[in-house]
Structure 1
Amino acid sequence: MSFQHLDIPTLQAWLDDGRELALVDIRDPVSFSQGHIPGSRRLDNDGVGTFLEETPAGRPVVVVCYHGHSSQQAAAWLAGQGLDEVYSLDGGFTEWQLRHPDSVEG
């Protein structure tokens, strides 16, 4: 099973619709604390086991990084752990912040 790409307008629509999904941010702790997409949680190697235990296999998972590159590797790995629907956010948090400066928590 592989991951899929997700564009920012689609994620915005899902969030606006209240779609149930797991939004994970793999950036470093300082960057995450300075700003992240509302509803996202920071995910690192230490927390991934707990995340996998808590997340139903059928729940969509969206992986966010800086620019949409390292999230692809993380999404592919998560898809390999048995999650059915894993997405890498194209453009990452940088693009999200450019398009939606009012939709950033810090």
Structure 2
Amino acid sequence: MSQSFQHLDPVTLAQWLREGRTLQLIDIRDPLSFSQGHIPGSRHLDNTNVAELVEKTPGDTPLVVVCYHGHSSQQAAAWLAGQGFDEVYSLDGGFVDWSHRHPDHVAQ
């Protein structure tokens, strides 16, 4: 069985964002953390809106799942891949690492 999701390093994500590549950033941290800072263009995802995401997002849209440190995003990415999305990534290091590397690329 092939891996259902892929790991994505922050350097590659920054490059993709600079290139304007089509993707959907999915932030699964708690709402307060999300409101205090997230990667620009991120969509906050929780149990109340996950069904809508799965229903309304085309299956060929690349999804990048972001959590705090890159651990729980792996489980969420695997689950989303199981919902039929072709390209699902878990951001290695999570938002904590991203905000250290790219403090100028954080939205509130």
Q: Point out where structure 1 has 5 or more consecutive residues left out of the alignment.
A: none
Which residue does 1:62 correspond to in 2? 64
* Residue 90 (structure 1) aligns with: 92
Q: How many angstroms does 1:47 deviate by?
A: 0.4
Matched residue count: 106
**Counterpart residue type for residue 41 of structure 2:** G
TM-score by length of 2: 0.96
Q: Which residue of 2 aligns with 1:26?
A: 28
TM-score (norm. length: structure 1): 0.98
Is there any run of 5+ residues in structure 2 with no aligned partner, and where? none
How high is the sequence identity, in percent, across the aligned residues? 71
1:64-83 aligned at under 5 Å gives the runs 64-83=66-85
Helix, strand or coil: the match of 1:5? strand
Runs of 4+ in 1 over 4 A off after TM superposition: none
Matched residue SS, 1:13: helix
